[in-house]
Amino acid sequence: MNNTYRNIPFSKLALVLALCLGSSAQADWIKAYGTSNMDIGIVTPAATDGYFLSLSTSSLNKNTKSLSLLSKLDSNGDPEWTKQITTGNYDHFYLSQTSDHRILLQGDTRQTTSSALNSVLALFDIDSVSGQLTPVFSKVYKKGASHLSFMQDDQGVLWGLGSIVTSGQTGKGSDMILANINAKNGIPNWSKVFHYSTVDSVRSILSKGQNYILVANSHATPNNQKILIGLLNKTGEPVSGSFNEYAGTGLNEVMAIKAIAGGNYVLYGTSKVSNTSSKASIFVLKLDANLKALWEKNYSAGTDQGFIAPSVDENADGTLTITSQLMTTDKIAVPGLPGMTIPMPSTHPAVIKLSADGAVISAKTLAYQNDTAFFTKNTDSSYLISGQTMTMDFMSPSTAGNSNILYGQFTADLSPVWTKTFGGTKTDMGGIISQGNGYNLFGSTMSWGAGNIDVLAGQLDANGDVANCDFIKEVDMLENALTVKAENLNWTPKSATLTKKGVISSSNITLNVSDGQLTTTKVCGN
């Protein structure tokens, strides 16, 4: 994701993978939504029928205030009503649905374009017919120039996770924030600010019996990052003797921890030599019920290859599948100049199959063009691929900035059932999630709509199609063998102690709700 528009939307749009709820299949269609400005957002199936569109719109002029829009779409993707939600400041808000089908709004607000960001969390009851939003609570969490995001876990608990600038060391250090939020009033049941090293940030929280597993990243120096893992009790206090620091030299960034069979866990992330290196490897630790390492491995590719954004899933037979993105440098021949090549960076989805003890069974990449695409696992153990693809023909500058959505269905062993592209003559990116008997398409577009970037959404049939849509093309992704080297990490756990430095507090904030407007552009279907 290296051109001007590729970095902007995907991290936000990818949230839809975790937010969407199932619904019955609808008519097949694809539409673009936006204003005259630059619009980023997500479309999620509503609890009953239709969809919710959450959109943040902002001008290229940084002195123009951004706006947040919430729209209810019918089963054909047409807006039934649109609301504008704002504090009157510079806001970026996004919407999800809670497990009890309420509307959870989160994001940040700032009074000026250069002032500190403050996090906002609000919960609404909603009349989906009229669009009436009744606030359950709306809170602002003031924390300075740092990061705080909110999530709901599989037990319905609301969490705030992130970091806060270390007092007296603005721009130089940060401490961890963890807050357990009361879903009735938005006030933390408890919150903790923890200090360990120079720059600390909470990465993941996972329930474990009467405790929680806390996973965090910790920078000692810019090129020395370690991983913290340990237990907190139900009031957020560290369990004595449970925390350990893991890592070797360089930058080690944990992605997530997952519970697997036998009461065990898998912890994984990436490692690289320094901030300037693009050649990251993947580390995987299999932990027992006491969070002690059963084995720990590092997986690396060739000298000009590196991995990003890995995910690890356990299979029914106890094996593990790593899906990731391989960054590599291809040597492109120059026409008319025999023997002359130009190095061309490219990315492709990668798959590594591991035995239960971490040995590499097989590894491969899948390539269509230059593909920045990621796999997600379905409940039936099949996979979907979502992302974007673009040509690598440096001899055709007119097409260099064009990208299309790449999406597809894969078997449990990551063999393609079908793969397709969707897009126009400009930048399009996004993906799909399963919905009913078909798929919900989500993304962003410059090819259709009202502004510089617009939200793209749609309902696809069971084959990933919309009838008579010329913008959908069936393509083949070629499998290529990948050589992956597995080595023992030899990470010796070091006992770690978290220092409590305080709490965060919330206060009421006024969210103004009024009627809003957006432009809907039909692309395909109905």
pLDDT of res. 64? 74
pLDDT of res. 493? 94
Band of the pLDDT at 338, cuts 50, 70, 90?
Answer: confident
pLDDT of res. 44? 86
Taking the mean position of all CA atoms in its chain, how far away is CA 203?
Answer: 13
For residues 98 and 120, what is the distance between their CA atoms, to the nearest angstrom? 16
For residues 401-429, give the mean pLDDT.
94
pLDDT of res. 332? 72
Phi, psi of 56 (to 5 degrees): -110, 120
Q: Strands 147-152 and 158-165: what pairing? A: antiparallel
Q: Which residue has the higher pLDDT, 307 or 2?
A: 307
> In the chain, where are the structural domains located?
8-22+36-142+506-526
Q: Which string of DSSP letters, residue by residue, matches 32-78?
A: EEE-SSEEEEEEEE-SSSSEEEEEEEE-SSTTSPPEEEEEEE-TTS-
pLDDT of res. 243? 97
pLDDT of res. 331? 73
- Report yes or no: 229 and 243 within 8 Å, Cβ to Cβ: yes
pTM score above 0.85: yes
Average pLDDT over the chain, rounded to an integer = 87
| Range scoring the smallest mean pLDDT among 20-24, 152-156, 182-186, 295-299 | 20-24
Band of the pLDDT at 146, cuts 50, 70, 90?
Answer: low
